Structure 1
Amino acid sequence: MDKIFLVGLTIGLLSRIIMLNLDQRQYPTQPNILLSQLVLAFVASSLGALLVPALRARSYTSITFLSLAAEQFRQVRENRRNTLQNLEDVQLVQRGEAFIEEIARTYEVRNYMCIITSLSTVGLHYLIISEFKLNSNISLIISACCGLLLAFILKKMLQRESIGDIADVVPVEITFVDECIMQVGELKGITNVGLKADRDRYLSKGLGIEIIPKDKSYSNAGILMDPGQRQTILYNIYSRLGILKEKDEPSFYPLPRRNPKKESLVIAYIPVEKDIDKLIQAVKSCPILSSAKGKNLSLKNYPIGKKGSA
C-alpha cells in the first residue's frame, strides 16, 4: 500500500503542477500563492490516494473526509475571493467582480483535479491486480501512466478559450476631433480629454486597438460586449504591460467602447512600453470568462451586418 499511496500522491501533485504555468499566465500573482497551492494539492492528493484503500478495508466513514475537504476547498475559494476584492481599491486597473469570481472558482476546481487523478491512479492499480492478476510493480507503472494521461486530459478540458480564439485584434489610430473628443479608429466620442498635455500623451505614447469578432458572429460579439469580459481584457493588458498613469488621473483610464457597425470593441491604452505587438498579444491571451459565454446563442448563425440586424 505504501508504494501505491506514494504513486497516487505524486500523480496528484504532478496534475496540479502542470496547471501552475497556466494559472500564472492567466492570473499573474504573488510567489507565496505557489506554496499555498502546492500544500492544498498535497492535502487533496493524499485524500484521493487514501480513499480507495479505506473503502477496501470497509471503512465507509472515510467518505466523510471528502465532504470535509470539499468544505475546506470552498472556504479557500471564499478566502481567495475576499483577498482579491480587498485589493481592488489599490489597483490602477481593477479586475472586476466577474474575473475575481472566475479566479476563485478556478482555485477550487484545481484541488478537485488532484483528488480525481490520485483516486483514479490508486483505484486502477487495485483493479489491475484483482482483475488481471499482474505483478504489483507492473501495475504501478501502468496506473501511474494512466494517471498522468488523465491529468493531461483534465488540463485540456479545464483550459478555457482566450480572446484570440474568437476575435481578431488589429491596431488603430488614436486621434482627436473637435479639438478634444477622442476618436479611436473610425469610432469617435470615446471620451472628452480637456487638457492639451493629456491629449499629447495619448498621441505620443498611446496605442489604439480594435477587437473584431471572428466570422461576423453575434455569439462572439456577445462575449466581447459582456461588462465583466471587458474589464478582464483591461486588467489582462495592465498586468502584462502596466499603464502610464497615476491613480488621480482619470483621463488615462482605458475605456472600451462598442463600434456598432462591426460589433467590435475599441480601446485606447497608454502602456509603460509602447509596443503594439505586445499589446495585441496581451489582448489575445486574455481568458474568456464562463459568465460571458452563452450570450446571443439564438443569433449564432446570424451574421453581423445582415440586413435587419441590430
Structure 2
Amino acid sequence: MIAHMLSQKETVAVFVGLFFGIASRLYLLRTDYRQYPTYPHGKIIHVSLGVIAAGLGSVAVPALLDKNYTAVTFLTVAAQQFRDVRNMERQSLMQVDQMELVPRGVSYIEGIAMVFEGRNYLVIFTSMMASLFTLLFAWYWGAVAGLAAVGVSIYFKTGKNMTHIADIRISEVRLDGPNLYVGDIYIMNVGLESDRELIARQGVGLLAVPKNPDARVTLANLGQRQAILHDISTVLGVYRDTGEPALMPMAKLHLDSGTLGIFVLPQVKDAQKAAAALKRVPVLESAIRMPTESAAGPHKEA
C-alpha cells in the first residue's frame, strides 16, 4: 500500500503540500496579549481557512502540470474568499472596538484584517512550493522546499515595531496648574482637582524620539498614535472608567522636534513595563511614510 502511494507522485505531492501548508498556518496563528484571534472559535475559523488554503495550493500544481488550467479559476475564487475574510475581520473588530475603553482605531483594525488575508496567501505559497518540488524531484525535496517556504512565511510574519523607528525614553508627568505635560510636551488641560491628584499619583509619561525624518512623519500619524495607546493599555490595563475624558490616555507631538509624548494611566504604575510595552507596538503599514524617497523630500538637493 505504501509503495503504491509513493509511486503515485501526484498523490504524494498533494499530501506533502497539504502538510506543510497546514503546518505553516498553525505556526503563524497565535493568540497573544491582544487576545486576537479569540480562543477557541476564532482559532477554529482561521485554522479551517488555512486547511482550505493549503488544499488549494497543493492541488493547483498537479492540475496545472496536467494542463488543467481551470485550476487558475479556483485560485481566483479562493482569492475572492480571502478578501471576504478580510472584510469579515474588519467588520467584527470595528464592532468590538466600540466597547473598548481605549479603542484600537481604524488604522490598526485595517492592519489586522490585512494580516489575516495575507497569511492565507502565504499558506498557498508554502503548499505550492512543497507540492511542486515533490512532483519535479522527490518527496524529500518537497519537504526541503516546504521547510524553506515556511521560513519565508515566518520572515513575513511580523513587520517593524517601535524600536525600528524611535528611541523610547521614560519621562516625567508634570502638572503646571491645570496643564498636563510629559517632559516639555503639552498634553491637555485637566480641570478637576481630583483628576489632577489621580494623574499625579498614577500617570506614566513616555517619549518616542524619531530616528529619522521618515519616522517623524510616521509618528505623526493618528492611527499609529492610537495603536500605541491601545497596546500599552491592553498590556498594563487602564485606570479609568466610562465618562471620564480627563483620564483618557493621550499622545501629542512636539511640533519642533517631532518627538511623540505619550501619557498613560496604567492599573499598575510601572514606567519600565510601559516602556517595554511601547517598544513592542507594531508600526502600522498604513502609517508608514517615506518623504525622503521623494525628489522634493527633506535632504534632497534642488
Between the aligned partners of 1:173 and 1:70, the Cα distance in structure 2 is 50
Q: Of 20, 29, 32, which residue of structure 2 is paired with 1:24?
A: 32
Between the aligned partners of 1:157 and 1:25, the Cα distance in structure 2 is 20
Structure 2 match to 1:170: 169
Structure 2 match to 1:72: 81
Deviation at 1:152, TM superposition (A): 1.2
Aligned pairs for 1:241-280 (under 5 A) are: 241-280=236-275
Identity level (%): 32
**AA in 1 matched with 2:226:** Q
Do the aligned residues in 1 keep the contact of 2:28 with 2:157 (CA within 8 Å)? no
Deviation at 1:294, TM superposition (A): 2.3
**Secondary structure at 1:79 match in 2:** helix
Structure 1 match to 2:287: 292
* 1:53 correspondence with 2:62: yes
Structure 2 match to 1:193: 190
Q: Of 276, 286, 302, which residue of structure 2 is paired with 1:281?
A: 276
Structure 2 match to 1:41: 50
Q: Tell me: CA distance 1:165–1:25, structure 2 relative to 1, closer, same or farther (3 Å).
A: farther
Between the aligned partners of 2:251 and 2:213, the Cα distance in structure 1 is 18
**AA in 2 matched with 1:186:** D
**AA in 2 matched with 1:44:** A
Do the aligned residues in 1 keep the contact of 2:160 with 2:283 (CA within 8 Å)? yes
Structure 2 match to 1:101: 110
**Secondary structure at 1:90 match in 2:** coil
Deviation at 1:52, TM superposition (A): 1.6
Deviation at 1:142, TM superposition (A): 2.0
**Secondary structure at 1:104 match in 2:** helix
Do the aligned residues in 2 keep the contact of 1:181 with 1:193 (CA within 8 Å)? yes
Q: What is the root-mean-square deviation in Å for CA atoms of aligned residues?
A: 1.9
Do the aligned residues in 2 keep the contact of 1:219 with 1:300 (CA within 8 Å)? no
**Secondary structure at 1:256 match in 2:** strand
Between the aligned partners of 2:223 and 2:49, the Cα distance in structure 1 is 29
Between the aligned partners of 1:243 and 1:205, the Cα distance in structure 2 is 10
Q: Deviation string for 1:20-62 (max 9, x for gaps)?
A: 24x7367744212222111110000001111122223332222
Deviation at 1:237, TM superposition (A): 1.0
**Secondary structure at 1:60 match in 2:** coil
Between the aligned partners of 1:175 and 1:107, the Cα distance in structure 2 is 41
Q: TM-score, normalising length from structure 2?
A: 0.90
Q: Tell me: CA distance 1:102–1:127, structure 2 relative to 1, closer, same or farther (3 Å).
A: same
* 1:213 correspondence with 2:210: yes
Do the aligned residues in 1 keep the contact of 2:33 with 2:234 (CA within 8 Å)? no
Q: Deviation string for 1:70-92 (max 9, x for gaps)?
A: 11111111111011111122111
**AA in 2 matched with 1:245:** R
* 1:226 correspondence with 2:221: yes
Between the aligned partners of 1:106 and 1:248, the Cα distance in structure 2 is 33
Between the aligned partners of 1:157 and 1:38, the Cα distance in structure 2 is 19
Q: Deviation string for 1:177-232 (max 9, x for gaps)?
A: 1x2111111123x2111111111111111100011112xx1111111001111111
Deviation at 1:98, TM superposition (A): 1.0
Do the aligned residues in 2 keep the contact of 1:7 with 1:144 (CA within 8 Å)? yes
Do the aligned residues in 2 keep the contact of 1:26 with 1:287 (CA within 8 Å)? no
Between the aligned partners of 2:38 and 2:215, the Cα distance in structure 1 is 32
Instruction: State the aligned residue count.
Output: 288
Structure 2 match to 1:183: 181
Between the aligned partners of 2:62 and 2:209, the Cα distance in structure 1 is 54
Do the aligned residues in 1 keep the contact of 2:57 with 2:125 (CA within 8 Å)? yes
